[in-house]
Amino acid sequence: MSMRIAYYEYGGPEVLQIEDETVPEPGVDELIVRNEVIGVNPIDWKMIAGVFRHQEPHPSPGVPGWASVGTVEQVGAAVQHFQPGQKVIIGSRAGSYRERQVVNSRYVVALPPGLAIDQAAGLPSSAVAGYSIIHQLGIAADDVLLIHGAAGSVGSAAAQIAIAEGATVIGSASTKNHEFLRSLGVTPVEYGPNLLADVRNIADPTAVADAVGGQGPAEATSALLGSHPRSVTAWGTRYSQAAGIPGLRHPDDELERVVKYALDGALTVRIADDYVFEDVKRALEASMTMHASGKILLRL
């Protein structure tokens, strides 16, 4: 038997249950991984709340989680690149909030020597989305990129990758996060009515990325770029749709690319806090505030 965190109805963290499950044998292309550290992402509590239930109906029970690091216990007959005992990173919708996870090998990347487990657990989902933003916009050395929500997990990853590609980055964030953005090489601007003027006083953006979603970023993006195609949002909403801002697409090799940036030292995940597995409700409540100063982890 193995533990999992499940929900049978949509709601807040209170609907979660810790329960036992029987782990099936892996399919020919699958692995069984014993998770050690799980990354908590905003997508997790949005799924639990049923935000995407009309787009992606969830099986009952649902098990949240798109990110984890652990040790391979068993491999399917067709799996060639992983062996029992190997440390791996998982970026999959298969539900990582569990002790032992069955996952298709296509969603697994080897944990390279030199990359800390906690850093690796922060890469799938948020940092991967940050990479996909930069990839989709085609950011290069001559670009000036404005990132809404630059201090968050998605925005800060996008900022670091853009800077690694030689771009200039302006990032909107609350004042308390401005020093953090400066430490990354980002020029910070304050949220609020003067945002557009402050951005234009620094430079005219050639591309805009919305890493938080909502009405304000969508309106600011539209005002800055008009019908300019070089914009993207990590969180599609009715506001971004009305403004014609494209949603995020995910290339197949995004996790491998992000791992390489991290291993090369171009991308660092800021860890805000970690919780034991059984304290998952508090971990999600912390994530739901949207004010965590970095990645939240669950530890088994």
Query: DSSP string covering the chain, please?
Result: -EEEEEBSS-SSGGG-EEEEEPPPPP-TTEEEEEEEEEEE-HHHHHHHHTTTTTTSPPPSSB---SEEEEEEEEE-TT--S--TT-EEEEE-TT--SBSEEEEEGGGEEE--TTS-HHHHHTIIIIIHHHHHHHHHHT--TT-EEEEETTTSHHHHHHHHHHHHTT-EEEEEE-GGGHHHHHHHT-EEEESSTTHHHHHHHH---SEEEESS-SHHHHHHHHHHHTT-S-EEESS--HHHHHTTPPBP---TTHHHHHHHHHHTTS--PPEEEEEEGGGHHHHHHHHHTT--SSEEEEE-
In a domain, 45, yes or no: yes
**pLDDT of res. 79:** 96
In a domain, 182, yes or no: yes
Query: Are residues 84 and 179 located together in one domain of the fold?
Result: no
Query: Are residues 18 and 109 located together in one domain of the fold?
Result: yes
Query: Are residues 163 and 237 located together in one domain of the fold?
Result: yes
**pLDDT of res. 1:** 85
pLDDT tens profile 59-90:
689 999 999 999 999 999 999 999 999 999 99
Query: Are residues 178 and 67 located together in one domain of the fold?
Result: no
Query: Are residues 170 and 232 located together in one domain of the fold?
Result: yes
Query: Are residues 161 and 223 located together in one domain of the fold?
Result: yes
Query: Are residues 23 and 105 located together in one domain of the fold?
Result: yes
In a domain, 262, yes or no: no
Is this structure's pTM higher than 0.85?
yes
Query: Domain containing 58: what range?
Result: 2-122+269-299
Query: Are residues 142 and 212 located together in one domain of the fold?
Result: yes
CATH number of the domain within which 62 lies: 3.90.180.10
Q: Would you write out the chain's pLDDT as a tens digit for each of its 300 residues? A: 899 999 999 999 999 999 999 999 999 999 999 999 999 988 899 889 988 777 666 668 999 999 999 999 999 999 999 999 999 999 988 899 999 999 999 999 999 999 999 999 999 988 988 998 898 889 999 999 999 889 888 899 999 999 999 999 999 988 999 999 999 999 999 887 888 888 888 988 898 888 776 555 556 666 666 645 576 665 554 444 444 444 455 556 889 999 999 999 999 999 989 999 999 999 999 988 866 678 899 999
In a domain, 217, yes or no: yes
pLDDT tens profile 86-145:
999 999 888 999 999 999 999 999 999 999 999 999 999 889 889 988 988 899 999 999
**pLDDT of res. 241:** 47
In a domain, 285, yes or no: yes
Query: Are residues 6 and 117 located together in one domain of the fold?
Result: yes
The tally of domains found in the chain comes to 2
